[in-house]
């Protein structure tokens, strides 16, 4: 059985949980990180020297980095569906996964940290405003992408949709004005309606 180390308050852990549930894989999840500790213990550091979550254990194989774990699980258990075999479609999916980590996540991070993890009296309105200004054009970009096709990388769900859906879940959960984006909202609600989304796209932000 797979073991996933990490707390559900982590967006990166939610990605892996969502992927495993989409694939119908049995797994054990162990709370780790933040208040749960564990990640600085010698045993954990031997498996993930970054002292971060998530960490995947698949038998005697360990893997860290959330999007890489999603790729691994999809490649192993869903080649041709969640993990495209056609090279162009695969790298289209890869592109969106990298974009989530390098562009969308950094844009929205400050608003999340300020509004969810910073006491009200210590918040920086300037940091929140800058985060909103950086994120809203990216959401419009996503809206335009799923206006052309049902999912990010084509006509069916792929690994690309998993991390971006988790990112959008985090953004939509912030106490901010949320201008409707018709196509993006349709895409997100399609994913949220999946039984596999429970515990990943329906958890409160903390």
3-state secondary structure of 56: strand
- Based on the fold, state whether residues 187 and 114 are members of the same structural domain: yes
Residue 132: its pLDDT value, please?
A: 98
pLDDT at 128: 98
- H or E segment at 64? strand 61-64
Q: What is the pLDDT of residue 54?
A: 98
Looking at the DSSP assignment, which residues form a beta bridge with residue 29? 4
Cβ atoms of 21 and 198 within 8 Å: the answer is yes
> What pLDDT does 203 receive?
95
Q: Could you list the residue range(s) of the whole structural domain that residue 52 is in?
A: 2-77
Residues 12 and 103 in one domain: no
Position 204 scores a pLDDT of 95
Query: Is there a domain that residue 205 lies in?
Result: no
Check: CB of residue 112 under 8 Å from CB of residue 170.
Answer: yes
Other CB atoms within a 10 A radius of the CB of residue 15 amount to 26
Site of tokens 């894989």: 25
Residues 6 or more apart from 49 whose CB is under 8 A from it?
Answer: none
Q: What is the pLDDT along the chain (206 residues), one digit of tens a residue?
A: 999 999 999 999 999 999 999 999 999 999 999 999 999 999 999 999 999 999 999 999 999 999 999 999 999 999 999 999 999 999 999 999 999 999 999 999 999 999 999 999 999 999 999 999 999 999 999 999 999 999 999 999 999 999 999 999 999 999 999 999 999 999 999 999 999 999 999 999 99
pTM higher than 0.75 for the full model?
A: yes
DSSP secondary structure letters along 171-185: HHTSSS-----HHHH
Tell me if 165 is assigned to some domain. Answer: yes
| Residue at which a domain ends, from 20, 42, 77 | 77
- Within this chain, do residues 9 and 93 fall inside the same structural domain, yes or no? no
Total domain count, the chain: 2
């Amino acid at each position: 059985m797979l073991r996933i180390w990490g707390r559900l308050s982590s967006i990166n852990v939610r990605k892996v949980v969502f992927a495993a549930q989409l694939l119908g894989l049995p797994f054990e999840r162990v709370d780790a990180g933040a208040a749960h500790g564990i990640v600085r213990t010698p045993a954990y550091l031997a498996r993930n020297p970054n002292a971060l979550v998530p960490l995947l254990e698949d038998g005697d194989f360990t893997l860290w980095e959330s999007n890489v774990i999603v790729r691994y699980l999809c490649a192993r258990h869903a080649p041709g569906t969640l993990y495209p075999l056609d090279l162009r479609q695969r790298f289209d999916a890869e592109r969106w996964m990298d974009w989530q980590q390098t562009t969308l996540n950094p844009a929205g991070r400050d608003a999340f940290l300020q509004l969810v993890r910073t006491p009200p009296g210590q918040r920086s309105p300037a940091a929140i405003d800058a985060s909103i200004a950086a994120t809203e054009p990216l959401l419009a970009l996503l809206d335009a992408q799923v206006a052309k096709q049902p999912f990010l990388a084509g006509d069916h769900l792929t690994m690309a949709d998993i991390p971006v859906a988790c990112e959008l879940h985090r953004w939509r959960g912030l106490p901010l004005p949320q201008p409707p984006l018709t196509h993006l909202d349709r895409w997100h609600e399609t994913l949220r309606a999946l039984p596999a989304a429970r515990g990943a796209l329906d958890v409160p932000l903390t």
